[in-house]
Amino acid sequence: MGETCEAPGRLRGVRTVVRRRRPFGRTVGNMRIVIAGGHGQIALRLERLLTARGYEVAGIIRRPEQADDLRAAGAEPVLCDLESASVEEVAAHLQGADGAVFAAGAGPGSGAARKDTVDRGAAVLFADAAIRTGVRRHLVVSSMGANPKHEGNEVFDAYLRAKGQADAYVYGLDALDWTILRPGMLTDDAGTGLVRLEASTGRGPIPRADVAAVLAELLDTPATAGLTLEVISGSTPVGVAVKSVAGN
Ligand SMILES: NC(=O)c1ccc[n+]([C@@H]2O[C@H](COP(=O)([O-])OP(=O)(O)OC[C@H]3O[C@@H](n4cnc5c(N)ncnc54)[C@H](OP(=O)(O)O)[C@@H]3O)[C@@H](O)[C@H]2O)c1
């Protein structure tokens, strides 16, 4: 480890040019999306989908050895540990972006402390950095059951509280056009492209590939700003489901 956001240009192929922010709604071809947790299982799938749609994509990672996997997915790796970076450092990586996606997570092997530093703290930091840079469109991969007042002493309880606290923080940010997505139980099954996407779906599984497809569609649908949505596998094509919640 050792490298931090202070050295964003150390990775081969990392761009250091300062960009002017473009308003969301321009053609996809010149839009840049920055994904926090860029080597995550959902994030890598999303990077492939977005680059195939013509987006320019960057992914924030904390381990240099993951950089080639991002390049293979068509994304630009950006080295930055979201548990130790300052808001200014993260903001520098969001410079010139048209949208931001928080897809990081402490992961299944972690304890309550990292639920707080990643699932809550890094999400709050990323949102603050987006505001600092003026990047309005903001997607958060939260979790079904996220609740800032969730009770209990198990690690999973701390996880649901941390996710809920992060979501509650984002709700209060008028400077962001946020959409919060709360998937049910994630699987590695092949995507079906068929989902149930509603304010409240009830419990159920969903392939990570389908969550990535929903995120890509949400980015293409700014009218979903201000919505908190649960998603599980279902019977509605992703594009139709997103249009439906967007009200058109
Ligand atoms: N499992 C479920 O059933 C479920 C259900 C609903 C929602 N979710 C949530 O969905 C989200 C995405 O899921 P996923 O399966 O794609 O997760 P994942 O594969 O565990 O990816 C999370 C990514 O966050 C990165 N990360 C952790 N700490 C970081 C830091 N300090 N700085 C930068 N990056 C950091 C990890 O990188 P490293 O490799 O460096 O650790 C990892 O690549 C997570 O927030 C998860 O909690 C999960």
Q: Give residue-wise pLDDT tens across range 104-113.
A: 999 999 999 9
Residue 14 has pLDDT above 60, yes or no: no
Judged against a pLDDT cut of 60, whether residue 239 lies above it is answered with: yes
- Is pLDDT at 97 greater than 90 in this prediction? yes
The letter for the amino acid at 175 is: A
Mean pLDDT of 145-163: 98
16 pLDDT above the threshold of 80: no
Mean pLDDT (the chain, rounded): 91
CA distance 220 to 129: 22
- The closest-lying atom of ligand 1 relative to the alpha carbon of residue 104 is 24
Helix H or strand E encompassing 236: strand 236-237
Q: Where are the beta strands (DSSP E) in 80-171?
A: 99-102, 137-141
Residue range 145-159: mean pLDDT, rounded: 97
Q: Is the pLDDT score of 188 beyond 90?
A: yes
Q: How is residue 26 written in tokens? A: 């321009």
Pairing of strands 228-233, 194-198: antiparallel
Mode of pairing for the β-strands spanning 185-187 and 205-207: parallel
Q: Is the distance from the beta carbon of residue 157 to the nearest atom of ligand 1 less than 6 Å? A: no
Give the pLDDT mean for 101-124: 97
Task: Count Cβ atoms below 10 Å from residue 213 Cβ, excluding itself.
Answer: 25
Ligand 1 atom index nearest CA of 63:
40
Q: Is 90 in the pocket of ligand 1 (CB under 6 A)?
A: no
The structure's pTM equals: 0.93
One-character DSSP codes across 19-86 = -PPPPTTS-GGG-EEEEESTTSHHHHHHHHHHHHTT-EEEEEES-GGGHHHHHHTT-EEEE--TTT--
Q: Ligand 1: which of 1, 5, 34, 39 to mutate, most ligand atoms within 8 Å of CB?
A: 39
Averaged pLDDT for residues 194-220: 98
Among candidates 76, 74, 78, which has minimal Cα distance to 129?
78
pLDDT band at 166 (very low <50, low <70, confident <90, very high): very high
- 18: pLDDT strictly greater than 50: no
Which domains occur in the chain, in start order? Answer: 29-246 (3.40.50.720)
Which residue has a Cα nearest atom 21 of ligand 1?
40
Task: Enumerate the active-site residues.
Answer: 159
Can you tell me the mean pLDDT for 97-117?
Answer: 97
Whole-number pLDDT of residue 30: 80
CB contact set of 135 (below 8 Å; sequence gap of 6+): 21, 34, 94, 97, 98, 99, 100
CA 196 to centroid of ligand 1, rounded, Å: 22
- What atom in ligand 1 is closest to the CA of residue 44? 16
Report the separation in Å between the CA atom of 106 and the middle of ligand 1, taken as the mean of its atom positions: 6
Report residue 13's pLDDT band, with 50, 70 and 90 as the boundaries.
very low
Residue 70 pLDDT: 98
Q: Which residues pair with 178 in a beta bridge?
A: 138
Ligand 1 contact, 91 CB (< 6 A): no
- pLDDT(17) > 60: no
DSSP 120: I
Centre of ligand 1 to C-alpha 248, Å, is 32
Q: Is the CB of 137 under 6 A from ligand 1?
A: no
Percent of the chain, pLDDT > 90? 88
209: helix, strand or coil: helix
Residues 6+ apart with CB under 8 A from 183: 141, 143, 144, 206, 211, 230, 231, 232
Ligand 1 mean position, distance from CA 102 (Å): 9
Would the CB of 104 count as within 6 Å of ligand 1? yes
118 lines ligand 1 (CB under 6 A): yes
Q: Mapping DSSP to helix (H, G, I), strand (E, B) and coil, where does residue 235 land?
A: coil
The pLDDT value recorded for residue 138 is: 98
Quote the tokens at residue 125.
Answer: 């930091």
Of the candidates 68, 28, 64, the one whose C-alpha atom is nearest the C-alpha of residue 49 is 28
Helix axes 123-133, 87-94, angle to 10 degrees: 60
